[in-house]
Chains A and B, each alone.
Chain A
């Protein structure tokens, strides 16, 4: 299963870097969104996957029943999802405002810092 996820992660990374390299700021932000998915999935995959139990201790037990999914990458990913949402929202509003101020969404045309 990790093998297939490794390919998915690679494709997501390739797609997001390609979009990040485009001059259009809209594509850049879409690339940013793809990048966060790619990073989350990478963390998840490297922490190994199992299809059996979520890391939740059932009633009456002191710990999750083996074998259970690795909770550590999940906690990290949860944090990452929320932060990347913040970053994405910030970038989108930045794009919106900079378009209003400069009249372009093309990074190549934004040559000055004060326009």
Chain B
């Protein structure tokens, strides 16, 4: 099983290269892999439907107890066969649909890795494995929806799908982990037997809620349904494969998989039935407004997913059986209808159901597929759709109190399905030929897929029940007939219905999609607000934040711990030292207050020399000498530069200066305090005495400071020299640089050219 999953990823790695190599046959060749996978899993059919299960385990992250374990039972087998089987047909179809597309290889790669992820998802046994594959399908879906990445619409839809399903995925992860902790095991196969424990667990509601969010986002149930119709900007094979047959069913798969664990309780029933019914009504109403092929099919997909949700929520034997058959039937007919719609689009250049007609003559095989699939969707015998529909209505008859409301909703949605089937699968081939952009034609790669799918719809029904699933004249049959009649009736008045519904278009703008947009705008707004505040680009703001944080956090700590020792200013200071200190302090204050640039530079020099004299006086001749030399050069350099600069302007307000002054004084006071505190504690002399002791014997130098610099800490000095070299290179570069011929650096000229640039 692991090989079956991983092979898809491996092939996807080489797909772009192989596509170039194989040319137009690439799709046919790639489809061999899913075909092989289908055959491999088909071998399991007799034993698995006989009740056997298979499990394989590979260690993955043993330190966390996470295993790459896979589990095959009837549920996962059905999904596996659908994924691999439809995958093969989609790969063939893509070759025809995207013929000559420059990025076809990339498309195959995405499609193959999606298939592998989806297989992993339905086969996964460990909850973490399940989650990883779950998110992988979201990612590949993102890539496939955004395949036409030059269109803004496509990028937006891709991001929307990713965000909605991604958030759901996170909720699911939380839910699965809580479930694993509550149930005492992270293997789904083991949890299946823990149903009773979990249903009585105090955290049951939390688990249920989180898991349902995951399932509903993935399967596009209200209020998360909006991403699916938007995802229709993807190429049609993607819509057929991901967004109707397989990926959107992942949520349904999850609900079915966890039904024995979490299902059957009143909460489960209430939540699923309610959400499913709301989604049914919403999607049918929204569908009736549209005329293009793909949105109609997308909304009916949401409707079918809602049917499945309701059935799983109801959870009787008939309901579960109906869900299983509806799932397979839908995958087959909806996949086929999407592919037919794609073929029509490809053949005529037309995306609107109202604009096409009379296509039977130029596209006979496509027409056959369309009609067969539409019959299955309407629920006509002998198709699988008929069986599904019969069971669906039959389970409806088992309902208790709310049956009437539910019957109404089901019938209404059923009519919607019939209308959609008629409009998308049958009507385009009847009547007079419409005016189309291109000459209608068809190609083998474009009809193989849908044909196989729609014929399978009939064949499977025959295999499962050779009598054509005929149950005799029962109330469910009557309901089905009513739905068909009503649906066909609706098709006659669909323009009127559309006009009526368009009257309520303002409600659409209040729908969940606008919530999504609003949340994104809020997030954007918050991010730019935060960036404006924190990353303003003004050095001043950064400094203020840093200093204020320092002042508040350190000051608060000192205050709370009550370690405030003010320095003893005049103890042990000679007159000479006091005088030097006074000179330094007054020069610094002058530098702050003066309006003259040269005065400020001079006082900077005074401070430097004052500090140097202090060093000299306090037993540090080396640094005193260095300081004096450096200070002299700095002042000279400063004056040379200042010569070219404008005079000071008073550019900040009184309030700003008071604020800055207070902040600076606060930080200065804090530093004084910290120095006073630090000098109260005894100094660790280990290093000092080591350097002093070893300087002469070990390094043959009498001046300990020099020895430290060139010997004990020689690498420090190397780093220092490197910094100087870099600064020197930078200065040289800046002085020699002439930015893109902006002239010789005349200020007004370069400013003018800068304005022209922008």
Q: Which residues of A are interface residues toward B (Cβ below 8 A)?
A: 1-15, 17-24, 26-30, 33-34, 37-38, 40-42, 44-59, 62-64, 68-72, 74-75, 77-79, 81-83, 85-90, 92-97, 99-103, 105-108, 111-112, 114-115
Contacts and interface: CB of A to CB of B under 8 A. Distances in A.
A94 to B, nearest CB: 6
A102 B627 contact: no
A13 B648 CA distance: 22
B102 interface: no
Given A8-B581, A97-B734, A101-B754, A1 B573 contact: yes
A37 B608 contact: yes
A71 B634 CA distance: 26
B607 interface: yes
Instruction: Please list the 5 inter-chain residue pairs (A to B) with the smallest Cβ-Cβ separation, ordered nearest first.
Output: A14-B668, A69-B619, A10-B672, A3-B567, A86-B727
B567 A7 contact: yes
23 contacts: A1-B573, A4-B570, A6-B676, A8-B585, A14-B668, A14-B669, A15-B588, A17-B660, A23-B540, A30-B591, A54-B619, A57-B703, A62-B693, A64-B704, A68-B619, A82-B626, A85-B633, A90-B731, A92-B641, A99-B646, A102-B747, A105-B646, A108-B651
A107 to B, nearest CB: 6
B696 A4 contact: no
B597 A26 contact: yes
Contact of B720 (A1, A42, A82): A82
Given A3-B572, A90-B730, A94-B734, 6 more contacts: A5-B581, A21-B663, A28-B539, A30-B604, A68-B619, A78-B622
B39 interface: no
A70 B641 contact: no
A9 B626 contact: no
Interface string B614-654: 11011111110011001001100110011011101101100
Interface of B: 537-540, 543-544, 547, 567-574, 577-578, 581, 584-585, 588-589, 591-592, 597, 600-601, 604, 607-608, 611, 614-615, 617-623, 626-627, 630, 633-634, 637-638, 641-642, 644-646, 648-649, 651-652, 660-661, 663-665, 667-673, 675-676, 678-679, 683, 687-688, 691-693, 695-697, 702-705, 708-709, 713, 716-717, 720, 723-724, 727-728, 730-731, 734-735, 737, 739, 742, 745-748, 750-751, 754-755, 757-758
Nearest to B597: A26
Contacts of A90: 727, 730-731
A4 B679 contact: no
Given A48-B679, A70-B688, A86-B724, A75 B611 contact: no
Nearest to A61: B696
A71 B675 CA distance: 19
Contact of B607 (A37, A53, A103): A37
Contacts of A57: 695-696, 702-704
A93 B735 contact: yes
Contacts of B672: 6-7, 9-10
Given A3-B571, A44-B615, A21 B758 contact: no
A3 to B, nearest CB: 4
A43 B542 CA distance: 25
A65 to B, nearest CB: 10
Contacts of B695: 57, 63
B581 A15 contact: no
B620 A75 contact: no
Contacts of A114: 754, 757
A8 B567 CA distance: 11
A51 B675 contact: no
Given A75-B705, A93-B641, A107-B538, A81 B623 contact: yes
B682 to A, nearest CB: 10
Nearest to A47: B683
B84 to A, nearest CB: 53
B747 A49 contact: no
A22 B614 contact: no
Given A11-B668, A12-B588, A79-B716, A1 B704 contact: no
Contacts of A101: 739, 742, 745, 747, 750-751, 754
A72 B737 CA distance: 41
Contacts of B739: 101
B607 A55 contact: no
